[in-house]
Amino acid sequence: MYKKIIINVAEHETRVALLEDGNIAELFIERGDVSDIAGNIYKGKVQRVLPGMQAAFVDIGLKQAAFIYVRDITGGRYGDIENLLIERSEDENNSINVDGAGPSLSFINHEYHIEDLITEGQDIMVQAAKAPLGSKGARVTTHISLPGRFVVLMPTSDHIGISRRIEDETERNRLKEIVESSCKDKFGYIARTAAENIKKEKIAYEMGFLKNLWENIQKKYQTSPAPSLLHKEVTISLRAVRDLLMHEAEKLIIDSRSGYESILSFLDSFVPGLKDSVEFYEDLEPIFDAYNLEGDISRALKKKVWLKSGGYIVIEHTEALIAIDVNTGRFVGKYNLEETILKTNLEAVKEIAYQVRLRDIGGIIIIDFIDMEKKSNQEKVFNALEEALIKDRSKTHILPISEMGLIQMTRKRIRKPLTRILCEPCFYCDGEGYLISRQTICYNIYREILRESRDMMGVKVSLRVNPEIAELLHGEENHLIVSLERIIGKQIVIYPNSQLHMEEFDVFEILKE
């Protein structure tokens, strides 16, 4: 599969698209706000400790306070937290339990409470694990990690790990020996996939570079006020180079001269051999238009996505989960119903996997496939979904199809989904997705005038409404006005007002002719 990175840089926005065989697979957007702070390291101040939730709010200098769970607190090598944990672990003879995904302290999770570990007003070094999402603040952790090209430094752990993608046991042992022999301090490291077959000198050099970076962060922590930013993750363009070009993509094309030179300078320091893979785009046509990406991005914002066969899927975002519904639509098949349903479901599987990845949908996802009678067909759809999600770099977990034809799955969520970045709630329906029907509004007006008429002393009643409602009251629903005039004994004068929301109306009395 040929992978290419397309980067569009504007004054206040940078967009990075990962193309697979010419089709956009992932989209990343940076707008200079707090939408993507994952990886940043802060000196924060504990605002409030919540024993009932075993969590705490931490001020890191953003509008919304960040939050941290008890399991995300380690005995970091800074501040008073470490001393407290060491004293208690020695007293209780507890041990540190570390897994490949990152360090964790078993005695914190199971035997100690968050109020025993941190206090309100305390300074704390944290790293943003997830950016703010909707009404939720950023999620932070004291499990600090500093990624390089070949290794990831974990200064709050002493665990040595090797990427699971490196399967050769001899190479895994070689890398572990290199990291252990090059590690001068009791830091944790994970050898990344890119470290495979790399010489010891290069890995050792990067380990030293990351160690110096960590020492500088620690010094800054000692002298900086709280809250403050200690370390900023590299720009989205350089992240694309570090995480995509160095590991997956064959080519990178960028339309910014300064961005192009910044990438070349970055590669000069780490991988000079990849400089030939970077190209500066100079054509007048916008780069995303040249690669036909804008249409795919717009399609990824739609609730309904059509399939080539004529079927379609509907993607609904709710507060708790994402619901995806599969429908046959215009597809009627050729032979029998079961075959038509199977073909629609299999086609939907590919589109669902594609849309979930492109839209960066995370959390709980419920997929409602069209009911299939044959167990073998259900297994085909389930296996097809598993295979389609292999290319997704975010961690997913899928449960088999239930008796009701539903598949439940989870996908790791780190950033806002694409719709949250590029869209906002409708100012008319306030994100509800529905407006009160025009007929219902007319009936509401009828009841409101009846209520107020009892206290009215004027000769007429004035009604200001949206022009569409005014048209309805003069037409199909005019019987309501006629009925009201008969009941209250007053003339009702309707004034259209385009400034009013469809659901808004004003009723007031006219005292004199």
As a whole number of angstroms, the distance between CA 133 and CA 479 comes to: 49
Q: Do the beta carbons of residue 369 and residue 401 sit within 8 Å?
A: yes
What are the structure tokens assigned to 331, written together?
Answer: 């597809």
H helices present in 252-335, as ranges? 257-270, 287-290, 294-299
Q: How far apart are the first and last CA of the chain?
A: 79
How confident is the chain (513 residues) per 10-residue block, as mean pLDDT?
93 91 92 74 93 92 90 57 35 29 38 82 92 82 89 90 89 92 88 86 87 91 93 88 84 95 87 90 93 92 90 90 90 75 93 94 93 90 94 89 90 84 80 84 92 82 94 93 91 93 89 67
pLDDT score for 105: 36
Which value, in Å, is the radius of gyration of the alpha carbons in the chain? 30
pLDDT score for 34: 57
Rounded to 10 degrees, the C-alpha dihedral 153/144/132/119 comes to 180
Residues facing residue 494 across a β-bridge:
463
Nearest C-alpha neighbor of 478 from the set 504, 442, 450: 442
Q: Do the beta carbons of residue 322 and residue 368 sit within 8 Å?
A: no
Question: Dihedrals φ, ψ of 139, to 5°?
Answer: -95, 130
Q: Do the beta carbons of residue 108 and residue 70 sit within 8 Å?
A: yes
pLDDT score for 334: 64
Q: How far is CA 106 from CA 76, 79, 96, 109, 466, in A?
A: 15, 20, 6, 5, 62
pLDDT score for 9: 93
Residues facing residue 254 across a β-bridge:
7, 280
As a whole number of angstroms, the distance between CA 73 and CA 55 comes to: 10
Tell me the residue ranges of DSSP E strands in 105-254: 123-130, 139-141, 146-147, 151-154, 160-162, 188-191, 228-231, 251-254
Helix, coil or strand: residue 65 = coil
Question: Dihedrals φ, ψ of 391, to 5°?
Answer: -70, -15
Q: Do the beta carbons of residue 252 and residue 4 sit within 8 Å?
A: yes
pLDDT score for 97: 28
Identify the H or E element spanning 495. strand 491-496
As a whole number of angstroms, the distance between CA 68 and CA 27 comes to: 28
Q: Do the beta carbons of residue 396 and residue 361 sit within 8 Å?
A: no
